[in-house]
Structure 1
Amino acid sequence: MIKLKDFFSFKQNRFFWLNIIGMVVVILAAIGGTLFWLDAYTHHGQSYLVPNVKHKSLEQAQLLLQNQNMQGVVVDSTYVKELSPGIILEQKPEGGMRVKEGRTIYLTINTREVPRVRIPDIIDNSSVRQAAAKLKAMKFKLTEPELIPGEQDWVYGIKYRGKSLKSGDKVPFEAVLTLCIGNTHLRDSLATDTLGLNLGQESEAQVDDSWF
């Protein structure tokens, strides 16, 4: 039976202990190699300052990011009337943060074209109050309404630059629209005028008949 003292004796178990030492060396070398690879792969300890590219043109932003070993990618666009088309509105990560080399910076730009918006279904389907509230919520501008004979304050049509529109037609964002709304006074006046015209025609016919 092997005594504990003999088991730990290097002389008597030289081959066993050489294997153990070899295994430890291999494990340590593997760990060291892995850490070295990770350090090189992730550029451990190296970071770059993200430049602030807000309100820069896309071309200027791309150049600034490339100088910092980063790349910019446009992921969204929106429309801000007061700002120049094509400039950067938002960036992620924000300017001033530190990131790894090669990091992608996601950009939102101000669209180069005025977006077009569909006319909602309000023609012959809404009162002037309902229609105006819906259109203003969509950022449309309204002129003084055009009054036409019909039910009081009922929306019979919409015009843009003098052209009649249909529900679903597209017009520029914040376009100036004119509502064509009904007015009972005009309707009644038209009916009276029409009736008067008919009576006048009948009177003329009677006068003509009296000559015979």
Structure 2
Amino acid sequence: MSLKQFLTSRLFFRHLALAVALVTVSILIVLLALKFYTRHGESLAVPDLLGMTEEQFSVVLEKSNLKYVIVDSTYKEEVVAGGVIDQVPDAGMHVKRNRKVFITINAVAPEQVSVPPLTDISMRQSLAQLESVGLLPGAITYKPSEFHNLVLEATYNGRRVITGELLPKGSQINLVVGTGDGRGSVSLPDLKGLTLDMARAILIDSMLNLGAVIYDQSVISRIDTLQARVWKQHPDRSGSPYVSVGASVDVWLTIDELRLSQEYPEDQDTEIRNEEEESFF
């Protein structure tokens, strides 16, 4: 039988059909095996673990067929010791069975840090020193001194702090800064168009304090607070270009470009946020 006759014979087509059937069956078996192995289409909702201790969330995750890894710990006063303060993936997300949930728990006590040298240096240096170890600037007050912008005293809970002593990370340190001879007033900066962080830095450099922080209705989320810019301040330079050293300056912030480009009266329903609050909400 010639090749041409074989390719047109029933025997050839019978073998071809058999080969196609075998390949199709093999593919279906592989797909079914993969679906079974990966549980394609099946997912579990990650439970909300925030605030739970390890004894509690380990039981919840076991029932949900999920595993966990504790990756970090930090301290928040408002959360129970050992309680969950962050989880990845977030609660409500759908994941595969046996997926690991990465957890950050609340430390039993805040981390202790050593107080760096804070006095007899410029205020800018002192603030940088605080930031480098995880301490926060508290109230900044000014008093007459022959040394301009020099930190004269640093206090915590009403007492002077000593270089090298241990304090809880995140503690607020109050600073007393010299004004220099005859510096009873300073030039009032124009803060319009600046973000809150930029405005705060300029006020510190000008020996002034940040007062009330007021967001309008355009600011909704935490990200909005970072992007919002000052559209109004009090006092402003329309009254007097000078204010007393240490005076507080209130700022109004928005993400509304129209408001940033024009003058508007203050909203009746703007919401005042206290700068000392930990979160926007």
Fold conserved between structures, TM > 0.5: yes
Question: Is 1:28 the counterpart of 2:24 in the alignment?
Answer: yes
State the number of aligned residues. Answer: 175
Query: What TM-score, normalized by structure 1, do the two folds share?
Result: 0.61
Paired residue for 1:44? 40
Give, in whole Å, the separation in 2 of the partners of 1:40 and 1:97: 22
- 2:92 is aligned, of 90, 96, 106, to 96
Q: Which has the higher contact order (CA 8 A, sep 6+)?
A: 1
**Could you list the per-position Cα deviations for residues 99-124 of structure 1 after superposition, in whole angstroms to 9, with x for gaps in the alignment?**
22111112122222311234334343
Change (3 A) 1:111 1:120: same
Shift of residue 90, structure 1, vs aligned partner: 1.7
Moved more, 103-112 or 151-160: 151-160
- The AA in structure 2 aligned to 1:93 is P
Distance 1:96 1:159 in 2: 45
- Mean alpha-carbon deviation: is it higher for 83-92 or for 42-51? 42-51
Matched with 1:124 is: 120
Label 1:29 to 1:58 Cα distance change in 2 as closer, same or farther (>3 A).
Answer: same
Classify 1:26/1:121 alpha carbon distance in 2 versus 1 (closer, same or farther; 3 Å): farther
Partner residue in 2 for 1:138: 135
Secondary structure at the residue paired with 1:76? strand
1:54 aligns with 2:50: yes
Q: Which amino acid aligns with 1:165?
A: T
The Cα shift of 1:152 comes to: 8.1
| Separation (CA, whole Å) in 2 of partners of 1:6 and 1:155 | 101
User: Match of 2:109, SS?
Assistant: coil
| Greater helix fraction, Structure 1 or Structure 2 | 1
Distance 2:136 2:103 in 1: 25
The answer to whether the 8 A contact 2:51-2:85 is kept is: yes
- The aligned counterpart of 1:72 is 68
Instruction: Spell out, residue by residue over 1:18-40, the C-alpha distance to the aligned partner (whole angstroms, 9 max, x if none).
Output: 43223212211220111111111
Question: Could you say what secondary structure the match of 1:95 adopts?
Answer: coil
Alignment partner of 1:165: what SS? coil
Which residue identity lines up with residue 82 of structure 2 in the other structure? G
Report the Cα distance in structure 1 between the residues aligned to 2:15 and 2:29, rounded to whole angstroms: 21
> Sequence identity, in percent?
29
Aligned residues of 2:116 and 2:163 also touching (Cα < 8 A): no
Q: CA–CA distance in 2 between the matches of 1:180 and 1:164? A: 15
Residue 53 of structure 1 aligns to a residue whose secondary structure is: coil
Displacement of 1:83 after TM fit? 1.6
Q: 1:178 to 1:101 in 2, by over 3 A?
A: closer
Q: Give the Cα separation in 1 of the matches to 2:94 and 2:172.
A: 46
Provide, for residues 52-92 of structure 1, a one-character-per-residue CA deviation record: whole Å limited to 9, x for no partner.
Answer: 11111122111101101001212232221222221111222
- SS of residue in 1 equivalent to 2:136: coil
Task: Name the CA shift for 1:76/1:95 in 2 (closer, same or farther; >3 Å).
Answer: same
Are residues 1:107 and 2:103 paired? yes
5+ unaligned residues in a row in structure 1: which ranges? 183-212
Contact 2:140 2:177 in 1 (8 A): no
Report the Cα distance in structure 2 between the residues aligned to 1:154 and 1:43, rounded to whole angstroms: 66
The TM-score, its normalising length taken from structure 2, stands at 0.48
SS of 2:78's partner is coil
Structure 1 residues 132 and 45 mapped into 2: Cα distance closer, same or farther (>3 Å)? closer
- The gaps in structure 2 that reach 5 residues or longer are 179-281
Cα distance 1:133–1:4, how it changes in 2: closer, same or farther (>3 A)?
A: closer
Counterpart position of 2:162: 164
